[in-house]
Amino acid sequence: MLWAWLAHAWCDWRSVVCIVKAETVVAWHRRGFRLFWTWKSRHRAGRPAVPHVVRTLIRDMSTANPLWRAPRIDGELLKLGIAVSQSTVAVYMRRYQRPPSQTWRTFLTNHASQIIAADPFVVPTVPAALRPHHP
């Protein structure tokens, strides 16, 4: 019905009809899909970036107060009217290098006088007849 009505309403429709090869139609489809996926995978705006002033403030607060962790600094920032998450605060905090822990050999050397491991007696508590037999 649509094509019959269109042919009746538009008298000069035959002048715009063109015959194309199948390869041309396939190329048009490929270009269309390429444009669609380019649009679909475009860069969308994610989380807003943390301003440089806030990042500097977080680093200064963590440097001045080394015992404060992310929840405390986040609370202090909220008192100042700056709303950021604790995980964001943790990302921008200053990292402190911990001293390495002692090795197992050092532990044994330091505590050898206090360690006693002895088993001079073996006392069977279950008679042999009651022990489960495993083949």
What value does the mean pLDDT take over residues 81-106?
A: 88
For the segment 121-132, what is each residue's pLDDT rounded down to a tens digit? 777 777 766 766
**Cβ–Cβ under 8 Å, residues 54 and 93:** no
In degrees and rounded to multiples of 5, residue 4 shows phi and psi of: -65, -45
Q: Is 101 helix (H, G, I), strand (E, B) or coil?
A: coil
* Tokens matching residue 87: 């995980």
Domain map (residue ranges) of the chain: 52-92
For the segment 42-90, what is each residue's pLDDT rounded down to a tens digit? 877 777 889 999 999 999 999 999 889 999 999 999 999 999 999 999 9
Percent above pLDDT 90 for the chain: 41
Of the candidates 60, 56, 90, which has an alpha carbon nearest to the alpha carbon of residue 72?
90
| DSSP single-letter state for residue 122 | -
Instruction: Indicate the helix (H) or strand (E) that contains 75.
Output: helix 70-79
